[in-house]
Amino acid sequence: MAEIKVIIPAVNEGDSIGKVVSGLPKSVSEIIVVNNGSTDDTIENAEKAGATVLTENQRGYGFACLKGMDYIAKQSKQPDIIVFIDGDYSDYPEELDKVVAPILEKDIDFVVGARKKSLREPGSMTPQQVFGNQLATFLMRLLFRAKFTDLGPFRAIKYNKLIALEMQDKTYGWTVEMQLKVLRKKMSYTEVPVRYKCRIGVSKVSGTVKGTIFAGIKILGWIFKYSLK
């Protein structure tokens, strides 16, 4: 049986993190919550739900993900698959088995849980999120002939392929960097439709004007950077 580990970046997700951790299937061998500057009870609730909790004091989604990867790299045995999911309970953690299925059944390298409009709860994605996703994936189709339709945070990748990507982005560009590098390295990929609901709490990215602007700059920056290579 494939060993699966989950990395969950979390900032002030005290009301939701326990639901995310508890909702993940028993097929997961370890759930790693990376506390990224929380001032609430995120740590306590994650530990209570059974997660391993790490702390990354440098704020940024990528910083948190890299912290989780560094922790895994130092273990005596590495997993077969890494899954990333947000800690706000907007995704349905029980759908993890569906997200990893193409890897297990078809030997696909990388899978994105695509938040299809028909499966999204009304209001679960802000207009700027929808527009940003459409623009980014349109540019990837135009410049790289990609088939991605979403930059969804619920994603799975073979561990050895993740290491080969040599991820660098420390903040908002993490998801698009991963997808661009998968394309560049000609790894196999697919999307699976996943449900999406209104998050618990306020988004640190799309919930603020500053976050929205910086995320947009980072995403477009990565796309145009790779288009010139």
Q: Classify residue 156 by its DSSP letter.
A: E
Whether this prediction's pTM lies above 0.85 is answered by: yes
- Specify the pLDDT at position 206: 45
Range 51-60 burial, b when 16+ CB lie within 10 A, else e: bebbebeeeb
Can you give the pLDDT at residue 128? 83
Alpha helices by DSSP H, listed for the chain, are: 17-23, 42-48, 61-73, 96-106, 127-144, 159-165, 174-184, 209-227
**What is the predicted pLDDT for the residue at 222?**
81
Instruction: Write out the chain's pLDDT in tens, 229 residues.
Output: 999 999 999 999 999 999 999 999 999 999 999 999 999 999 999 999 999 999 999 999 999 999 999 999 999 999 999 999 999 999 999 999 999 999 999 999 999 999 999 999 999 998 888 988 899 999 999 999 999 999 999 999 999 999 999 999 998 899 999 999 999 999 999 999 999 999 997 655 544 555 566 667 778 788 878 776 6
pLDDT at 36: 97
Collapsed DSSP state (helix, strand, coil) of residue 148: coil
- List helix spans (H) across 79-126: 96-106
- How far, in Å, CA of 23 to CA of 6, rounded? 12
3-class state of residue 105 by DSSP: helix
Please name the residue that has the structure tokens 């391993």.
52
Cα–Cα distance measured from residue 202 to residue 195, given in angstroms and rounded to the nearest whole number: 19
